Amino acid sequence: MKALKKDLKSVVKSLKLLTKQTEKIAKALENVETPRPAKKRPIAKAGKKTVTKKAVKKAVAKKARKKTAPKKAIRKTSAKKKTSKTATNTVLSIIKRSKKGLNTAALEKKTNFDAIKVRNIIFRLKRQGKVKSKSRGMYVAI
């Protein structure tokens, strides 16, 4: 019985010691967590004034705002839809003109595009659903 009391007293004593240590650690963490104000370091001195990075950024932004050109008036286009001559539109129009369909070699000759560009355009048109494969390497407009 006496041995059990001694063991319990030693456990209580070690628990008290541990609580004190955790309180010290908690106080240390509170001191670490409080943010300290950042020090402003001068970049350059102009006379008596000290210029900071923040002031330089503001000045640059202000100059950039002044240099923007005035907005132009938006022109109203006619009711007809303008189709721009992109590479994709060029290839699609050539494929539409052919009845049997075209292969990539024929498209390369007619457009003067390289093989990779033609393949990429065909891939894009197939994904959009404007062209389908008639057979391997032959493409027909839908």
Residues 61-109: tens digit of each pLDDT: 777 666 555 666 666 665 555 567 899 999 999 999 998 999 999 999 9
Distance of CA 119 to the CA centre of its chain: 28
Q: How confident is the model at residue 121 (pLDDT cuts 50, 70, 90)?
A: very high
Is domain 87-141 annotated with CATH 1.10.10.10? yes
What would the pLDDT profile of 66-79 be if each residue is shown by its tens digit? 655 566 666 666 55
Do 104 and 110 contact (CB within 8 A), yes or no? no
Q: What is the domain partition of the chain in residue ranges?
A: 87-141
Strand partners, 141: 131
Query: pTM of the full predicted structure?
Result: 0.42
User: Which tokens hold the place of 89?
Assistant: 């539109």
Q: Pick from 61, 63, 42, 38: which is nearest to 52 by CA?
A: 42
Residue 19, CA distances (Å) to 27, 28, 83, 135 in order: 12, 14, 78, 80
CB 126 within 8 A of CB 132: yes
